[in-house]
Structure 1
Amino acid sequence: MIKKKLSIVDIANKLNISKTTVSFILNGRAREKRISEELVERVLKFVKEVGYKPNSLAKSLRTGKSHIIGLMVENIADPFFANIARYIEDRAYKNGYRIIYCSTDNDADKTRDLIAMFRDRHVDGYIIAPPVGVEEDIAELLKDDLPVVLFDRYFPGIDCSYVVTDNLDSTYTATEYLVEQGYKKIAFITLESHQTQMQARLDGYKKALEQNNLNPYIKEVAFNQDVKYMSEPIADFLKNNKDLDAIIFGTNRIGTCGLKVIQNLDIRIPDDVAIISFDDHDVFELYSPSITAIAQPVEEIAANTINILLSKLDSSTSNIDQKKVTLQNDLIYRGSSQVNAKLSAVK
């Protein structure tokens, strides 16, 4: 038989005192309500003996605070999102908040279900890397005066706080660097996506090529959890464009898939093709030759994101303006983008 969980009413009846008195004591308001130290000690001793644990949902309904933050990312297993989540969790915990995090898989329907779950749990605030298609859901959260901070991407038509990086400038700089090294047939392999960060990365690449009168070579790949279904279109693209001399990958997931394909096709880096990938990754540093990468300031993104949300959760500053933060990325130069043998011979 399952043992019935004790309630405040049960404790009050056992000690022959009012449930209101028990509630004040358990919520740390005994001194404010002038409850005797003797009675406080008796209640706390009994609570410890019976192992009473308060119902967190009921408490949140009474106090209006759950001290829980909902964190929604594209894929919690992705190193970029995992590192950000870890930093946010640490910072939140030090400020009295716990984190519930989950993956959206860039699925709008799944994201709506998760937002509904967080609403049912009465979370105090939301940190979201939103997929396309949940604009109305974000707008509803804001309409209900719930604290929301978007990161990594945002919705231009919604006045909501966000933290992003300068994606356009990053791919522009990376492409310009390759052009300066003498590369002319530079491809951009990226995810098929209408998200703001992905569109900005593509725009930066196009801008650099246009300014240098070079032709674009673009391949957009549909996101899939199974690497096989992302690798096949990359392989087909490379087989059909054997004269490429440089490639920029739009994400680290595309980048790691691309490196496997390049290895399988016996394409040499950087002798046959130079490589740069967006989002640095441990694999890129360990790969031989190491891969030049556009590194996002993970800790700075996380710090800005949680700080903005904590400011919103602070009752004294709950009506602060929406903050929009754009951070700069770093291009980390490694062996994969050195001038290849063919270009050196031409020079």
Structure 2
Amino acid sequence: MKKKILISDIAKDLGISVTTVSFILNGKAKEKRISEGLTKRVLDHVKKVGYKPNELAKSLRTGKTKIIGLVIEDISNPFFANIARFIEAKAYSRGYRIIYCSTDNDVDRTIALVQLFRDRHVDGYIITPSEGIAETIQSLLSSQLPLVLFDRYLPNLQTNYVVSDNVKGAYDATAHLAEQGYKRIALVTLYSSQTQMRDRMDGYMRAIDTYKLQPYVKKVNVNHDEQAAIVDFQSFLAEQQPDAVFFATNYLAISGLKAIKQLDIPMPAVVSYDDHTLFKLFSPTITAVSQPIEAIADELINILLNQLDGKERALKQVMLPSSLLIRESSLKK
């Protein structure tokens, strides 16, 4: 078994002190007025012998693990998957690693996962909060742990967050359908009081009011039994006969498209909040409200790293604009 290289081995090989090697490896050569020549010599030798620092020992010494906990709703959803990918790349470029997990919007699971990250002493948290975890988030805030929420926020807590303008995104989607001439525009949404769902409902209702139309709202629950939700939605289609449907999430849209296909009826106009890889492959292609994923990731990682570096004390509450990607499914034939 190959012997692990220690800082003391490097110091002995080069005939210098362990302290000097440590300063160089921790980026303090200039601060300690160590010459560029000696710094290069040490770094070249480190590369040659394949020295790897003991991260556990380093975290105990510095009080930092250089790890960020990312708690998201569903890593299989393209919106969250792409956010995670961008955050991971941006964190890595700044010397941090990401541990992430999915909560499936389950309160008990969310609480358990946040506690797991606390036990592992991650340096900061990026969280899409489930309903019912205000106490858990307040505990992180009370412990003065760096934290930023995204996709939604908790109205009764003063936290950093990054969200998109859900009201305008939903308004624009509904207005687009109205301007295409559709009169019976339905909203299919969740049983949820989360801010992003509440705001999408608000945007829909504002547009319905603007265009003097009648609202048709169907709330469903797909967390437990998708087929039951599909059957429920099919009954809604048969009873209300909407000529256009705005789905408040992309996974609701996918379930809704399955329901329409199973019924074998003419497809109403369709718009989804949040794009999905499948929407460009479906026939007709599906119109979607697209959130600015990379901009969200940029804001999240910058806010968190500024907290970790002690540069940000004031709350940062950011709302970014979405855009409507008009495709075949919403255009009047």
1:314 aligns with 2:309: yes
* Counterpart amino acid of residue 339 in structure 1: K
In the alignment, the residues of structure 1 paired with residue 45 and residue 180 of structure 2 have an alpha-carbon distance, to the nearest angstrom, of: 74
Report the counterpart of residue 320 of structure 2 in structure 1: 327
Superposed, 1:95-110 pairs within 5 Å as 95-110=94-109
Offset at residue 59 of structure 1 (A): 2.5
**1:262 match: secondary structure:** helix
Report the counterpart of residue 277 of structure 2 in structure 1: 282
Relative to structure 1, the CA distance from residue 260 to residue 60 in structure 2 (aligned partners, 3 Å threshold; closer, same or farther) is: same
* Counterpart amino acid of residue 240 in structure 1: E
In the alignment, the residues of structure 1 paired with residue 245 and residue 210 of structure 2 have an alpha-carbon distance, to the nearest angstrom, of: 18
Superposed, 1:1-347 pairs within 5 Å as 27=26, 32=32, 54-224=53-223, 227-241=226-240, 243-269=241-267, 273-315=268-310, 317-319=311-313, 321-340=314-333
Offset at residue 253 of structure 1 (A): 0.3
Relative to structure 1, the CA distance from residue 132 to residue 95 in structure 2 (aligned partners, 3 Å threshold; closer, same or farther) is: same
Structure 1 residue runs of 5 or longer lacking an equivalent are 341-347
Over aligned residues, Cα RMSD in angstroms?
3.3
Contact in 2 for aligned 1:8/1:19 (Cα 8 Å):
no
Q: Percent identity?
A: 52
Deviates more, 1:216-225 or 1:145-154: 216-225
Offset at residue 45 of structure 1 (A): 7.8
* Counterpart amino acid of residue 295 in structure 2: E
Offset at residue 175 of structure 1 (A): 1.4
**2:283 match: secondary structure:** coil
In the alignment, the residues of structure 1 paired with residue 9 and residue 228 of structure 2 have an alpha-carbon distance, to the nearest angstrom, of: 59
Residue deviations 1:20-71, cap 9 Å, x none?
899778656689499xx99xx99x989997x886553342122011111111
Contact in 1 for aligned 2:126/2:147 (Cα 8 Å):
yes
Instruction: Give the TM-score normalised by structure 1.
Output: 0.82
**1:145 match: secondary structure:** coil
Structure 2 residue runs of 5 or longer lacking an equivalent are none
* Counterpart amino acid of residue 244 in structure 2: A
Residue deviations 1:224-268, cap 9 Å, x none?
265334323222322332x21111011000001111111111122
**2:130 match: secondary structure:** coil
Aligned structure 1 segments of 4 or more residues deviating by more than 3 angstroms: 5-12, 18-34, 44-49, 51-55
**1:119 match: secondary structure:** helix
Give the number of aligned pairs: 330
Relative to structure 1, the CA distance from residue 45 to residue 174 in structure 2 (aligned partners, 3 Å threshold; closer, same or farther) is: closer
Contact in 1 for aligned 2:244/2:270 (Cα 8 Å):
yes
* Counterpart amino acid of residue 330 in structure 1: S
Instruction: Give the TM-score normalised by structure 2.
Output: 0.86
Offset at residue 89 of structure 1 (A): 0.6
In the alignment, the residues of structure 2 paired with residue 249 and residue 309 of structure 1 have an alpha-carbon distance, to the nearest angstrom, of: 32
In the alignment, the residues of structure 1 paired with residue 89 and residue 97 of structure 2 have an alpha-carbon distance, to the nearest angstrom, of: 9
**1:300 match: secondary structure:** helix
Contact in 2 for aligned 1:8/1:22 (Cα 8 Å):
no
**2:153 match: secondary structure:** coil
Contact in 2 for aligned 1:252/1:278 (Cα 8 Å):
yes
Offset at residue 96 of structure 1 (A): 0.5
